[in-house]
A and B are shown apart, each in its own frame.
Chain A
Amino acid sequence: MVGRTQEEIEKELSKEYIPLSYAEYEEGLSNGKLLGLRCQSCGKITSHPMPVCQWCGSRDMERVELSGEGELLTFTVIRVAPEGFDAPYVPCLVKTLEGPTVIARLDLTPEEASQELIGKRVKMSGTYKYEGDKYSAGAHVCPVFRIIE
């Protein structure tokens, strides 16, 4: 007899390949937490989440909460916004203390956003909620950081 039982196929289907979903990551952000995954193989942290370690590709990862602190790597002031966004606002890249870089917004006015801020210490201070459009699969949040030194 060839073929597999429905139970066998359903069992295979129930295996989880996503250790921390984007939805759970966003939920963490909304609760003031920057979540990530610690690799049990190389010890490094992955955040935003991925199905495998962003450094070594291992699948053996466990959830951790990051400190939410880091260094401002770069930023810009968006003056011409996509439909659904109101300019100006300040996207940035933050290298977290734990290692991975995250994309975020910076809690600054455009007038305050000067090149000298690069390298400053920043801390996650909240989230920005994008209400979404018909192409965004709903509303989403991103972290917001502020300068702390």
Chain B
Amino acid sequence: MRDVAIIGVGHTKFGRATKSSLELFSEAALQAMDDAGVTGKEIEALFQGAALPGFEEGQVMPAAFSAAELNLGPIPATRYEGACASASVAIRDAVMWVASGTYDIVLAGGVEKALLMGTAFATRTFAMSCHSPTEGPVGLTFPGVFAMAARRYAVEYDIPLDVLREKMAYVSIKNHRHGALNPLAQFYKKMGDLKVEDVVNARMVADPLTLLDCCPFSDGAAALVLCDAEVARKYTDDPVYVLGTGQASGSALSKMEDITKPVSRIESARSAFKQARLEPKDIDLLEIHDCFTIAELIALECMGFFDWGEAATATEEGETEIGGRIPTNMSGGLIGKGHPIGATGASQVYWIVKQMRGEAAKGNQIDPVPEYGMTDTLGGDFGTLCHLILGRVRRG
């Protein structure tokens, strides 16, 4: 298998968009193609994440039309759907197809326009990636899933729920601090100075998670140009290499052994580390799926960055901030930057690449630039997990 490099990245402003999904994706894709210095004629295939386009704009099969809008010719163009991990699984497959030698240059990314649906219908359609036969009639929601996980986390580690809520608040404070500094973020210049009281006293969404424990509904797109690593330097002085990928699947929530230790997340992260021949201690920067504050803590533990039950206190103590053991979600994460679900995985990669080039916003950029970065993307209630490990140098 060949090594694969990212040679161009693009990202729309996240938040409420007036443009259509096709236009948003085109905007991100053209940015990425300009960044890479490639023309449409050179793109051999399109891999597009989109979770709910049928409900948003009545559009199924958006990938074909995206390729057509960009005049890429009659190339293979495929939509990937893994709920909120849609873009990450699209990118992972794009990497596989380039690594296999089938294509040399491809476009991958994702798009979503969730705000069109309004809160009640968006909550309904997002919940469709819960196990519909059993979780559907219960009326389970995603905040509900993670609220149940938070209560279980408090029991498992014998932390009083009020204390855990305060510790979880530091995830929101940190991610909003960085989202407020990120001009592409949904909450740019907003909520950059939250206090614990602001988070725990906000409106309750699913006890014990408040609105400020949750990421927002969002519109946006992000895209990448990937190519065979052998030719990457023809296009850019700063290629970023995909060193390892992992993907795993989960089950209905009730079939999980422990909802605070999702096996799908553990296995996916492990396979990415194994392929990259790296360990958590090698990673300098994370962009992880903080759909809820508790989700960031669970992710950090499943990926091996903290021992079980220790991520909450580590976060409170600044271990996941700039200068801490492992800076996490310096883009603002889903909570501060926004979460257009089909685009999120590509946005995470975009920000790792920007950090590696030293081009993240001041206050969010880590110094020195990271050598190794990792993304974590979650679809559904642990149904689809995907991890990507990126580096500034190729595997030795």
Q: Which residues of A contact B (CB under 8 A)?
A: 22, 48, 54, 73-85, 89, 91-93, 100-105, 110, 113, 115, 118-119, 128-130, 133, 135-136, 140-142
Contact call B253/A85, Cβ cutoff below 8 A: no
Given A82-B141, A101-B255: A74 in contact with B123 (beta carbons within 8 A) = no
Given contacts A80-B141, A82-B139, A89-B139, 20 further A-B contacts (CB under 8 A): A22-B133, A48-B254, A74-B155, A75-B151, A77-B206, A80-B119, A81-B120, A82-B124, A83-B123, A91-B139, A93-B148, A93-B253, A93-B254, A101-B254, A103-B131, A113-B207, A118-B152, A133-B124, A140-B133, A140-B137
> B206 to chain A: which residues have CB within 8 Å?
76-80
> B132 to chain A: which residues have CB within 8 Å?
136
Number of B interface residues in the complex (CB < 8 A): 41
Contact call B124/A128, Cβ cutoff below 8 A: no
A9 to B208, CA, bound (A): 55
Closest approach, in angstroms, between the C-beta of A107 and any C-beta of chain B? 13
Contact call B138/A142, Cβ cutoff below 8 A: yes
Q: Which residues of B contact A (CB under 8 A)?
A: 119-121, 123-124, 127-128, 131-141, 143-144, 147-149, 151-152, 154-155, 161, 203-209, 252-256, 259
> A101 to chain B: which residues have CB within 8 Å?
254-256
A-B contact count (CB 8 A): 118
Query: Dominant SS at the B interface?
Result: helix
A93 to B258, CA, bound (A): 11
> B253 to chain A: which residues have CB within 8 Å?
93, 103
User: A84 — nearest CB in chain B belongs to which residue?
Assistant: B124
Given A81-B139, A82-B127, A91-B140: A119 in contact with B120 (beta carbons within 8 A) = no
A101 to B258, CA, bound (A): 10
Contact call A91/B138, Cβ cutoff below 8 A: yes
Partner of A103, one of B123, B135, B151, B161: B135
A91 to B121, CA, bound (A): 19
A78 to B198, CA, bound (A): 20
